[in-house]
Chain A
Amino acid sequence: MSKVEPKVEKILEVEQVKKHFHVGRGQLVQAVDNVSFEVYKGETLGLVGESGCGKSTIGRTIIRLYDATDGDIRFKGKTTKDLKGKNLKQFNREMQMIFQDPYASLNPRMTVGDIIAEGLDIHELAKGKARQEKVVELLKTVGLNEEHADRFPHEFSGGQRQRIGIARALAVDPEFIIADEPISALDVSIQAQVVNLMKKLQREKGLTYLFIAHDLSMVKYISDRVGVMYLGNMVELADSQELYDNPLHPYTEALLSAVPIPDPDTEKRRERIILKGDVPSPIDPPSGCRFRTRCPKAMDICAKEVPTWQEVRPLHWVSCHLYQEESLKKEEGMK
């Protein structure tokens, strides 16, 4: 199939990244295994998957909260693996993170003003009056006001705290923000407020987002492209509308069909694919394709060979034997 070269600049390249954790007794959790993708400047890439699929681990590895076990991550063309000292500090400015739990991710003993200005202090970006002004400006950007600077996190609601978390991330003028489940802890009516704020900031500041979430409807709404993960592997990656209209991987299909749609008429007409069983343990993942134990379309080859990550349609990547001619031929041979 012909390759369409996107005319946009790659800001982040993740290549064959692995992250394994030792969990004692010589056991190894393969949290992320051979994941490759790219993020273009100014876009939102959504990462979805169920708990334990490795979506948060990949986010944390990218921002170097974890060191990758293997593989390479390049930010603006440069590998992030051996960043040290000044370069690492610069990298930390350019990439920021918004966390899931707005209750646990703000220091309860610091005022909101100090929380937001911590980045400014570390990077020595503003002092005295300029620092104060910057804090006020940030508070206003995220829809809070000046008086909030002297208060403590416990005085705020979940939605407001998440705004504080966003203001903190914005303080150092980052280019790339990793948002790890930024809205899952919030109520429905508040979720929309925060997502709209994130979209507005992206338009105004040209930010690039890696948006990690398990809520597929929200991910579709905010993302330009969406990657689907399962048990440490990326199984499919495509433009968000394309992915939702033409899911190729059987897991994506099942995942999309499992999301209930808030409309009783649609719900009644819909045929759903219900997956059997649970996600296997990442300590001892199934051989071949990791999804095969729950896959309604599994073939013999799926247990024997790991499917390759291929672009089967322009800009639509999938890792499944069903879409690989060679695999289908081998499958014929097995019968």
Chain B
Amino acid sequence: MDRNNVLEVKDLHVSFHTYNGEVQAVRGVSFEEKKGETVAVVGESGCGKSVTSQSIMRLIPQPPGVFKHGEILFEGNDLTKLPEKQMEGIRGKDIAMIFQDPMTSLNPTMTIGKQIMEGLVKHRKLGRAEAKEKALEMLRLVGIPSPGSRIDQYPHQFSGGMRQRAMIAIALACAPKLLIADEPTTALDVTIQAQILDLMNDLKEKMDTSIILITHDLGVVAETADRVVVMYAGKVVETGTVEEIFNRPRHPYTWGLMGSMPRMDLSRDTELTPILGAPPNLLSPPKGCPFASRCPHAMKVCKEQMPETTDASGTQRVACWLEHPMAPSVEIPHDLVGGASK
């Protein structure tokens, strides 16, 4: 494992057994997370981004879930094989998670303070008074007004944005090395989203935490991420720095994503170019490139064989047959609504 990396995911395969057969939710995902970095994992629903993040936390119920292949390396340990007892020592302490829905992921019968203290008492072995002191400090840090009285309140007494702040306080209480944020702002209004993203960027600097940000919103990615992993149908189709992905995307799916999004800072005459069709069913994924059936540049080989992941630059990697030396050269669509248009 590279010393600069906090986490390495290598060729991860996760499946779920259902009545209809085996759903291959994650089919060979690899990426790494460097210290202090924010990696955004983007993709549409069903692309496997949440399954990947839950696999890192080992929150996949087994059965029906199965780790079929691959490893998740964290501090030299393979998290897919670690005994549950040891995993409990990592979960919440070294790796913490913020969930999408602050309404349902807090315990409604416990005060906010108790929920923050829970991890501190368990992992940091703090006494009650110390833990309460620390909990107050966390509430202050995430910007909750009058933390002294808020600490004894229940989640239903908090607004959506405040609950998300409380959840961040819980996640960061033990100063984890890695924070997984699964759609942390999707359930929030834009002005509240701006507050939360601001807070997360601020805390990342202060606490030197590495962040994996799962999202479908490219705007949020542009604002917070250092590197981007684009997923489609259980596979990583492209990775690169945030500048590379927005300014020089190479995979037709990434082009499609950018082309589907209207941009507020551009005139409304720019046409949207949607991706036609729908993602494949992962009960029986296609044997070739999963995007081939929706790809305007698909060739014969695309439907037959999955392309290798190739290096486009030191940091950008793409899995597309167009990267092959024998492939016809295809220009990035110049009318892309996204940043690639410049």
A:83-129 near B, CB below 8 Å:
none
Nearest-CB residue, chain A, relative to B223: A260
Enumerate chain B residues within 8 angstroms of A258, measured Cβ to Cβ: 190-191, 193-194
Enumerate chain B residues within 8 angstroms of A16, measured Cβ to Cβ: none
With most chain B CB atoms within 10 A of its CB, the pick from A191, A254, A261, A263 is A263
Give the interface SS of chain A, mostly helix, strand, loop or mixed: helix
**Is the CB of B243 closer than 8 A to any CB of chain A?**
yes
Interface contact A278-B161, CB-CB below 8 Å = yes
B:289-342 near A, CB below 8 Å:
338-339, 342
Interface contact A189-B222, CB-CB below 8 Å = no
Interface contact B190-A274, CB-CB below 8 Å = no
A:261-310 near B, CB below 8 Å:
261-267, 272, 274-276, 278-279
Interface contact B274-A217, CB-CB below 8 Å = no
A:165-181 near B, CB below 8 Å:
none
Count, A-B residue pairs, CB within 8 A? 137
Interface contact A278-B274, CB-CB below 8 Å = no
Q: Per a CB cutoff under 8 Å, which of B193, B243, B258, B273 touches A262?
A: B258
Q: Which of B66-74, B86-94, B211-219 contacts A (4 or more CB under 8 A)?
A: B211-219
Interface contact B44-A278, CB-CB below 8 Å = no
Q: Per a CB cutoff under 8 Å, which of B189, B194, B219, B243 touches A274?
A: B194
Q: Shortest distance in angstroms between A235's beta carbon and chain B's nearest beta carbon?
A: 13
- Per-residue CB contact flags for chain A residues 61-90 toward chain B (1 = under 8 Å, else 0) read 000000000000000000000000000000
Given contacts A260-B217, A274-B198, contact A190 B278 (CB under 8 A): yes
Interface contact B257-A188, CB-CB below 8 Å = yes
**Is the CB of A240 closer than 8 A to any CB of chain B?**
yes
Q: Shortest distance in angstroms between A66's beta carbon and chain B's nearest beta carbon?
A: 23
Give the total of B residues in contact with A, Cβ under 8 Å.
47
Enumerate chain A residues within 8 angstroms of B162, measured Cβ to Cβ: 278
B:180-209 near A, CB below 8 Å:
189-195, 197-198
Nearest-CB residue, chain A, relative to B225: A264
**Is the CB of B105 closer than 8 A to any CB of chain A?**
no
Interface contact A272-B265, CB-CB below 8 Å = no
Interface contact A220-B191, CB-CB below 8 Å = no
Interface contact A240-B268, CB-CB below 8 Å = yes
* Residue positions of A touching B, CB distance < 8 A: 50-51, 157, 159-160, 187-193, 195-196, 214, 216-218, 220-222, 240-241, 244, 254-267, 272, 274-276, 278-279
- The 3 nearest A-B residue pairs measured at CB: A260-B219, A192-B274, A263-B339
15 further contact pairs, Cβ within 8 A, besides A220-B264, A221-B268, A255-B191? A50-B189, A50-B191, A187-B216, A192-B275, A220-B268, A258-B194, A259-B219, A259-B264, A260-B194, A260-B197, A260-B222, A261-B219, A261-B222, A265-B246, A275-B194
